[in-house]
Amino acid sequence: MGKALSLAKLALGQVSPNPAVGAVVVKNGVVVGEGYTRPPGSAHAEIVALEQAGDAARGATLFVTLEPCCHFGRTPPCTGSVIAAGISRVHMAMLDPNPLVAGKGKEELEKAGIKVTVGEHEKEAREITEAYLKFITTGMPFVTVKFAVSLDGRIATRSGDSKWISGAESRKRVHYLRYISDAVMTGANTVLADDPYLTVRCGGVGGTMHKQPLRVIVDGRGRAPLNARLFKQPGKTLVAITGVTDREKAAGFRQLGAELLEIPSRDGIVDLRKLLKVLGEKQVTSVMVEGGGILLGYLFDLGLVDKVIAFVAPVIIGGSGAKPAICGTGAEKMADALRLRDVQIERFGNDVMVSGYVQRDSEK
């Protein structure tokens, strides 16, 4: 299963809205076939592995990171191919919560006489498919907040300068995080202050570049400058505005090729819950939010954040006017502060990356 999980990671960033899945066919202790999910409309992981195994699949064991599908979509059901190949045993890391599957794939395999085991390395499989799992059960994208801070919790100096708090290795990691995300979101203030590209500038699988994430600019009043660099980059840009945006400015966004999405305002800003719902309707399964502090604050206050990734650099900025990572209302008491679960810590150069999932009230 460890090999299957490694293969599944190779599909990240290429297969949304489908889940990233890995599969391995083993016979007599030897791997005879392996594969991972191909882009939508192409073969699923199980099919790739079975085709590679050929006749050796008969009587073999299939290890797969997610329950094989049992319904017709863009491709035929994988369960039929597993049965036809003569697989004798299937180890699946987890069941697929998709209502069209949800245990039905397991039942179909068992009815065909195949022995099925569920739950091996389930935690790791859930992490790989975390965006898919939320999207397929709620219709909403999985929201990851990413920021880089100094040791004293600042994302910029009092003048707004933020280049660079984190080191080169951390920034390279951020490009990978963008690569595996469907969309990257930021606010108008960040566009004005940093003029970011919001693109992936590192290779995907095999060093090739497969896609750019959708750039989403939360810009209720249409303040992003038309000469901003992100409008000139490959890939698509969506600008979320409210009804108060100047019509001439809106026309300018369209002329640059950006999609304009008018969202009702909430407390004077774009209704972020509504925006995420619309993105889900566009089959955006994952959004990585890269600031600034005001946008992040609203997302946390509204309970819309699923995961946090913070790069902490060994730098002291100081000053009461320096920019904090998170604004918004925040917690009044420490007992009300948001806490993370399943925390992981990694080192990138001199920086430390802390990641974890926002702990909901039901999990406390």
Cα-only R_g, the chain: 22
Residue in the structure block whose two tokens are 């990694």: 346
Whether 7 and 64 have beta carbons less than 8 Å apart is answered as no
Phi and psi dihedrals of 189, rounded to 5? -60, -40
Residue in the structure block whose two tokens are 């100094």: 150
Residue in the structure block whose two tokens are 């997610």: 66
Q: Encode the chain in three state secondary structure.
A: CHHHHHHHHHHCCCCCCCCCCEEEEEECCEEEEEEECCCCCCCCHHHHHHHHHHHHHCCCEEEECCCCCCCCCCCCCHHHHHHHCCCCEEEECCCCCCCCCCCHHHHHHHHCCCEEEECCCHHHHHHHCHHHHHHHHHCCCEEEEEEEECCCCEEECCCCCCCCCCCHHHHHHHHHHHHCCCEEEEEHHHHHHHCCCCCCCCCCHHHCCCCCCEEEEECCCCCCCCCCHHHHCCCCEEEEECCCCCHHHHHHHHHCCCEEEECCEECCEECHHHHHHHHHHCCCCEEEECCCHHHHHHHHHCCCCCEEEEEECCCCCCCCCCEECCCCCCCCCHHHCCCEEEEEEEEECCEEEEEEEECCHHHC
Active site residue 122: no
Residue in the structure block whose two tokens are 């918004």: 328
Catalytic residue among 46, 67, 124, 290: 46
Shortest CA distance to 213 belongs to which of 165, 149, 279?
A: 279
For residue 185, give both structure tokens. Answer: 């979101």
Active site residues: 46
